[in-house]
Amino acid sequence: MSSIDAPRVAEFLARRLDGSVELGRPLAMLTTYRLGGPAAVYVEPASQEDVIELGDALKELRDRGIHVPVLSIGRGSNLVVSDRGWDGLAIRLGNAFSWIEAVPGNAVALVSGAGTPLPLLANWAARRGLAGIEFLIAIPGSLGGAIRMNAGAHGRELVDCLSTAQILSFQTLQLSERRVGQLGYSYRTSNLTEDDVVMQAELHLKSQDPDVVRERMDEYRQHRAATQPGALQNAGSVFKNPPSDYAGRLVEAAGLKGFSVGGAAVSELHANFFVASARARAQDVYDLVHEVRRRVLDQFGVELVPEIRFAGAFDGGSANERSDVDHRRAAG
């Protein structure tokens, strides 16, 4: 049973928002793992004004003593939702936030909505001879999620090409434009929280022959196809690379390629990718991640930090657990 009064919350939000508000929306198919249960309340805003209104509505609920945990989904490419689901509000920025525009007066910049798929963004730039975000072709996420985690591949990260991001805080209800230096970026992390919703961002690029840009992007595609288990259910890299080493090397050196828990297994192709079979549960992925972490720590003294997020209640974890919470719990 949900600890929030989901029907009451959903009814309250539906009166305020133009977008979709649903009770018990299954989240599995909104993630690349295709695992997990429903959200108590699911919202897909229809516009930027809808997101602002949602923030105001959540504040009004808080003022009434009703605290609703918020989970931002994006394209679900680094998310594992509990089999029991998410006991709160799940928000996903859909098609209304998937757009790309040139910046007037700046031939090497673009502005894009947070819901824009990263491969779409990379292709848009390549067609126009704009270089610098080819690496996004290898990341199956959205721009908002990439900004939140400073996504990267092939030696580049979002911090290398981001100029500004427009952020709405559900805590302060302030809509602000933050420069890249204000986002607290480091390797695969930022200072953004689940109460911060990325709305749009401006990227700075450079001019280059479109054929050269396309050739480099094709190389990244081919590399991904040859080294990553793209045809199977997974969430990309499971662990952040520790300083001066690679998570995949450590997992493989621990003899864990092919190691499985239930229906989840360490990929035989790349040891920092965990794949899920048709019989897998979200709990299997959670248990596999924690068992691999334990074994690598025991053998090499290196504590791997998950890149993927866990949302909801897992056996052995805390209720409505997310990866930042999980890291502190496991480290303590």
| Percentage of the chain exceeding pLDDT 90 | 80
For 239, the token pair is 């662990």
Could you state, in order of their start, the residue ranges of all structural domains in the chain?
Answer: 6-92, 96-226, 230-331
Work out the pLDDT band at 3, boundaries 50, 70, 90.
confident
77, 237, 267, 323: which is the annotated catalytic residue? 237
Distance of alpha carbon 78 from alpha carbon 141, whole angstroms: 8
Q: State the pLDDT at residue 77.
A: 86
Report the pLDDT value the prediction gives residue 2, as an integer from 0 to 100.
62
Is residue 252 scored above 60 in pLDDT? yes
pLDDT at residue 327 is higher than 90: no
Query: Does the annotation count 188 as an active-site position?
Result: yes
Spatial distance between the Cα atoms of 168 and 175, rounded to a whole number of angstroms: 4
Q: Which of 188, 293, 309, 322 is catalytic?
A: 188
What CA–CA distance (Å, rounded) separates 320 from 87? 7
* Per-residue confidence band for 231, with pLDDT thresholds at 50, 70 and 90: low
135-184 tens-digit pLDDT: 999 888 899 999 999 998 888 999 999 999 999 999 899 999 999 999 99
Q: What is the pLDDT of residue 139?
A: 86
pLDDT exceeds cutoff 50 at 185: yes
Average of per-residue pLDDT across 97-109:
96
- Which of 157, 202, 307, 321 is catalytic? The answer is 307
Cα 62 from Cα 99, distance rounded (Å)? 32
Please say if the pLDDT value at position 96 is more than 90: yes
3-state secondary structure of 200: strand
What is the structure's pLDDT at 322? 47
Is it the case that residue 332 has pLDDT exceeding 70?
A: no
Distance CA 151, CA 37 (A): 26
pLDDT at 329: 28
Least confident of 85-89, 227-231, 288-292: 227-231
Q: Which residue has the higher pLDDT, 332 or 308?
A: 308
- Distance, in Å, from the CA atom of 65 to the CA atom of 59, rounded to the nearest integer, reads 10
- Let me know if 127 is a catalytic residue: no
Q: Please provide the average confidence, as pLDDT, over all residues in the chain.
A: 91
Residue 147 CB partners (closer than 8 Å, separation 6+): 114, 158, 162, 165, 183, 190, 192, 198, 201
Instruction: Decide if 62 is catalytic.
Output: no
10-52 tens-digit pLDDT: 999 999 999 999 999 999 999 999 999 999 999 999 999 999 9
Please state the separation of Cα 276 from the chain's center in Å. Answer: 18
CATH code for the structural domain at 6-92: 3.30.43.10
How is 114-128 classified by DSSP, letter by letter?
TT-BHHHHHHHHHHT
CATH of domain 230-331: 3.90.78.10
What architecture is domain 96-226?
2-Layer Sandwich (3.30)
pLDDT at 224: 82
